[in-house]
Amino acid sequence: MESYDIIIVGAGPAGLTAGIYTGRQGSKSLILEKTIAGGLGLEIPSMGNYPGFELISGMILMSKMKQQAQKFLEIKENESAENIIKVENGFEITTTKTKYFAKAIILTMGRKHRKIGVTGEEKFLGLGVSYCATCDGIFYKDKKTIVIGGGNSSLQEAIFLDNLGVDVTIVHRREEFRAEHYLQEKIKNKNIKIIPSSNIKEIKGDKFVKSVILEDKKGNQREIKTDGVFVAIGSLPSSIELTKNLNIKLDDANQIVTDKKQETSMLFVYSAGDITGGLQQLVVACGEGAIAATSAYNDLENIK
Ligand code: NAP
């Protein structure tokens, strides 16, 4: 079994930054990533709050982070960590391909999209239902779409689609958006329609999505024609089941509890980024990844 000082699980911004730090510290380390490196960061159409870049697409920023991390350690993509158990002097990590030993682990699995849970959502996935405008928006140029949700992601997706020449209607379950003020101001100057105080009850179609059933607060239902439905209603911790055989404290929202050193409740297990909750911003994930890597290094040095 290959043995490491530190194994990082998840190659989003937190994991990649942790990897840059563990590698530069000289720790023998590895990043495991179940799909491709980048995490949800890959889906951000453009961001204007990552220091050093006035405006940059998530895809470009994440590919720069990946390239930088690869200078210092290996990233094993398409290799999913399936189980982690405590063994003597460290941890045994079972993946879809093999087993590894690590003296310390950093959990940076990030988050996954929350599903709306209505009839048609699963059936039309990739056939009109999407969770990522950056990935799929281009297929809807000159077509009608509905974006569900009232947070930052929803408004950002709506703006991205509108810029592509897509006809966009935002459907939100409340009267007010929770998205930041600047995004609310931005959509006012766009040709984006808004249907407030309404829930999606069903997504309908034949081979592809054709319409949605909306229900208002009074229970009145109506059918609206659409070619696509972009679901942007927040996220949930990803792969949290990996913590089940470890003595790690989770909060009420199933997020990993950490202290200021990014230490979890279990010795030599650290966590960083969106999976720990808090302010879900790329710059925060990177900062926490750096702290987690430094804490792991210091703690391993202290037992030498
Ligand atoms: P979010 O802020 O949690 O917003 C989710 C939205 O979906 C809310 O409007 C919520 O409605 C709605 N919603 C939740 N469940 C629903 C359901 N079952 N049916 C209908 N609507 C539902 O999620 P997010 O926009 O993905 O953002 C997640 C985090 O990332 C936030 O911390 C956000 O600030 C951050 N983020 C930041 C940026 C940026 O800085 N520009 C961009 C994207 C994301 P209610 O309002 O009624 O609860």
Token pair, residue 287, equals 């900062």
Could you report the average pLDDT of every consecutive run of 10 residues in the chain (304 residues)? 98 98 97 97 90 95 98 98 98 98 98 97 96 94 98 96 97 97 95 97 98 97 98 96 96 98 98 96 97 98 92
* CA–centroid distance, residue 181 to ligand 1 (Å): 14
pLDDT score, position 45: 86
Topology of the domain comprising 129-231: FAD/NAD(P)-binding domain (3.50.50)
Please name the residue whose Cα sits nearest to atom 29 of ligand 1: 280
Residue of 40, 171, 178 with the most ligand 1 atoms within 8 Å of its CB, for mutation: 178
| Residue 115 CB–ligand 1 contact under 6 Å | no
Topology of the domain comprising 2-112+235-302: FAD/NAD(P)-binding domain (3.50.50)
Residue of 233, 275, 276, 280 with the most ligand 1 atoms within 8 Å of its CB, for mutation: 233
pLDDT score, position 5: 98
Please name the residue whose Cα sits nearest to atom 23 of ligand 1: 234
| Residue 149 CB–ligand 1 contact under 6 Å | yes
The model's pTM is 0.90
Letter string b/e over residues 233-243, b meaning 16 or more CB atoms within 10 A of that residue's CB: bebebbbbebb
* CA–centroid distance, residue 155 to ligand 1 (Å): 9
* CA–centroid distance, residue 116 to ligand 1 (Å): 12
* CA–centroid distance, residue 10 to ligand 1 (Å): 22
Domain with CATH 3.50.50.60 in the chain: 2-112+235-302, 129-231
Letter string b/e over residues 59-97, b meaning 16 or more CB atoms within 10 A of that residue's CB: bebbeebbeebbebbebbeebbbeebeeeeebbbbebee
